[in-house]
A and B are shown apart, each in its own frame.
Chain A
Amino acid sequence: MLINPIMLYLVLGLGAVGLCLALPRRGINPQIVGGVIAAVAAGLILLMLGIRTTADAGPGALPNVFFYVFGFIALAAAVRVVTHPRPVYAALYFIMTVLASAGLFLILSAEFMAFALIIVYAGAILITYLFVIMLATQAPAEGQDEVLADYDTSAREPVAAAFVGFVMLAVLTTMMFRGVSQMPPVQDQQARAAGVLAQLPGKIERALDRAGTLEPGWSLAMEPGTERAKVDVERGTVTLVDRFNNQREAPLPAGLEPKNVDELGFNLLAEHPGSIEIAGVILLMAMLGAVVLSRKQVELDEEAKSRHASRLSQSEPSLDREGSGRVPVRGATADGGRGWSGSNGTTAVEPSTGTRSAS
């Protein structure tokens, strides 16, 4: 075991209590206290992990500071996503989690995925979330301060959920801390990457050309029957061949080691070509589905209709002031807010009449 299990369970229980207190609730809300307790628990576990592994790795080995910093930021921001009563702030904290996880990806030498994560998640998905949060939020009635909705300020069964969640985490950590070994050294990865370099003859040829090693008439020798170049990464040489099948060896230019993107691209295209097609189909279906869903006309149900009607009648004086074009609103509220679904043909309160008549 990496950590004493009793200590681990105690700290996990502490984290559960903290998270439970930090969840929003009605009445007295000890969110800050809960947040501090959860943060202390996360910090303690990371500290235990750090002390144990530093002791194991022997003297002179620094712990990887960046892992602890990014890991702590990611977990703290994740807690805040779950506990913040306002959805916009929760989405912004989620961006912070994404950035911290991208940092973890960088430590794990997955550079491409780190940047793809920031671009796709923080740049695209979260912006969609923010748009929807703004579309689907009730504007406060005139003269009123914005109040948080009831479903945002009170969590559902926080104690049971926190208990179940942290029992699950305790089981997971017990399993995962049994028989762990360190990450393999980076050299192993470079040796493995040599296999990828042989499949990049164009890249080698361009580098040789730039270095001036590739004289006219000479070209890269290939392994017979394959598309792989004859490269010896250990000795740093590459075999060249001319028209008369004379072979000679040339030094491999520096800086040719395959990058993370090269390897990822090879793995993606050589080993999972079918999955790319399926991913494309999934994205297409999602796009079509979203378009179909959002074009659908919805009828307000009875409860929402009455609420909407009362809101309209509250704000009516201001609508009257804006001009005579808004007068039909009075009729719309009289028939129970049906103006919202556009059935009486007014354009004053019906934003989607144009698309409906076009369809």
Chain B
Amino acid sequence: MTWLLAQTSYPDPMSGLTLAHYLFVSGAMFVIGLIGFLTRRNLIIMFLCTELMFQAAGISLIAFSRFHLNMSGQTFVIFVLTVAAAEAAMALALVVLLFRRKESLDAEQWKEMSG
């Protein structure tokens, strides 16, 4: 076990966290978002679940950035935020358009669009 934990004499008393802790939270959040995307039928909630997955990716990026002491991870989260904002604007405009057409947010109503 000692080869795993190279820095056992970590001076900070609030320590004991490994990269895996953050990766677990990130992975669990991603999987919850994925399950929500697969199971829920409301278009808006499906897009909320994609935001949840973006969030999980952001957590793991920041954790890796801290682990490797490299700021590029944090910089990348800025771009993830940008893409999330752009995606939200486009997706919500589409959702409003679809709702005006069928008066329903049910994803099953658009079954005929599948190839």
Cβ of B92 and Cβ of A58 under 8 Å apart?
Answer: no
Given contacts A57-B8, A97-B55, contact A151 B67 (CB under 8 A): no
Q: Is the interface of A mostly helix, strand, loop or mixed?
A: helix
Q: Nearest Cβ in chain A — how far from B51, in angstroms?
A: 7
Q: How far, in angstroms, from A185 to B45 measured CA to CA in the complex?
A: 40
**Chain B 15-32 interface 0/1 with A at a Cβ cutoff of 8 Å (1 = within):** 111111111110111011
Q: How far, in angstroms, from A75 to B70 measured CA to CA in the complex?
A: 27
- Give the residues from 45 to 68 in chain A that come closer than 8 angstroms, CB to CB, to chain B: 45, 49-50, 53-54, 56-58, 60-67
Cβ of B89 and Cβ of A49 under 8 Å apart?
Answer: no
Which of chain A's residues have a CB closer than 8 A to the CB of B63?
Answer: 108
Cβ of B106 and Cβ of A149 under 8 Å apart?
Answer: yes
Q: Nearest Cβ in chain B — how far from A285, in angstroms?
A: 7
Q: How far, in angstroms, from A45 to B27 measured CA to CA in the complex?
A: 13
**Chain B 72-115 interface 0/1 with A at a Cβ cutoff of 8 Å (1 = within):** 10110111011111111110111111011111111110000000
Q: How far, in angstroms, from A78 to B35 measured CA to CA in the complex?
A: 11
Quick check: is A158 within 8 A (CB to CB) of the other chain? yes
Candidate in B32, B58, B65, B104 with the most chain A CB atoms within 10 angstroms = B32
**Chain A 67-85 interface 0/1 with B at a Cβ cutoff of 8 Å (1 = within):** 1000100110011011100
Which of chain A's residues have a CB closer than 8 A to the CB of B8?
Answer: 56-58
Quick check: is A110 within 8 A (CB to CB) of the other chain? yes
Cβ of B15 and Cβ of A82 under 8 Å apart?
Answer: no
Cβ of B27 and Cβ of A176 under 8 Å apart?
Answer: yes
Q: How far, in angstroms, from A158 to B39 measured CA to CA in the complex?
A: 6
Which of chain B's residues have a CB closer than 8 A to the CB of A105?
Answer: 59, 62
Q: How far, in angstroms, from A117 to B59 measured CA to CA in the complex?
A: 11
- Give the residues from 49 to 66 in chain B that come closer than 8 angstroms, CB to CB, to chain A: 49, 51-52, 55, 58-59, 62-63, 65-66
Cβ of A67 and Cβ of B103 under 8 Å apart?
Answer: no
Q: How far, in angstroms, from A23 to B75 measured CA to CA in the complex?
A: 35
Cβ of A304 and Cβ of B102 under 8 Å apart?
Answer: yes
Quick check: is A271 within 8 A (CB to CB) of the other chain? yes
Q: How far, in angstroms, from A105 to B105 measured CA to CA in the complex?
A: 34
Quick check: is A135 within 8 A (CB to CB) of the other chain? yes
Given contacts A58-B8, A133-B44, contact A149 B104 (CB under 8 A): yes
Q: Nearest Cβ in chain A — how far from B93, in angstroms?
A: 4
Which of chain A's residues have a CB closer than 8 A to the CB of B108?
Answer: 151, 156
Q: How far, in angstroms, from A158 to B40 measured CA to CA in the complex?
A: 9
B-contacting 9-mer, from A218-226, A275-283, A322-330: A275-283
Cβ of B92 and Cβ of A128 under 8 Å apart?
Answer: yes
Q: How far, in angstroms, from A98 to B59 measured CA to CA in the complex?
A: 10
Which of chain A's residues have a CB closer than 8 A to the CB of B20?
Answer: 2, 49, 173, 176-177, 180
Cβ of B24 and Cβ of A56 under 8 Å apart?
Answer: no
Quick check: is A188 within 8 A (CB to CB) of the other chain? yes
Given contacts A110-B66, A110-B74, A184-B69, contact A42 B35 (CB under 8 A): no
Given contacts A125-B88, A286-B86, contact A156 B40 (CB under 8 A): yes
Quick check: is A116 within 8 A (CB to CB) of the other chain? yes
Residues of chain A having any CB pair with chain B under 8 Å:
2, 15, 19, 23, 42, 45, 49-50, 53-54, 56-58, 60-67, 71, 74-75, 78-79, 81-83, 87, 90-91, 94, 97-98, 101, 104-105, 107-110, 112-113, 116-117, 120-121, 124-125, 128-129, 132-133, 135-136, 138, 149-152, 154-158, 161-162, 164-166, 168-169, 172-173, 176-177, 179-186, 188-189, 192, 260, 263-264, 266-268, 271-272, 275, 279, 282-283, 285-287, 289-290, 293-294, 296, 298-301, 303-304, 307-308
In the A-B complex, the 4 residue pairs with the closest CB atoms: A82-B36, A286-B86, A267-B71, A151-B106
9 sampled A-B residue pairs with Cβ under 8 A: A82-B52, A90-B48, A120-B85, A152-B41, A176-B23, A192-B69, A264-B74, A307-B103, A308-B103
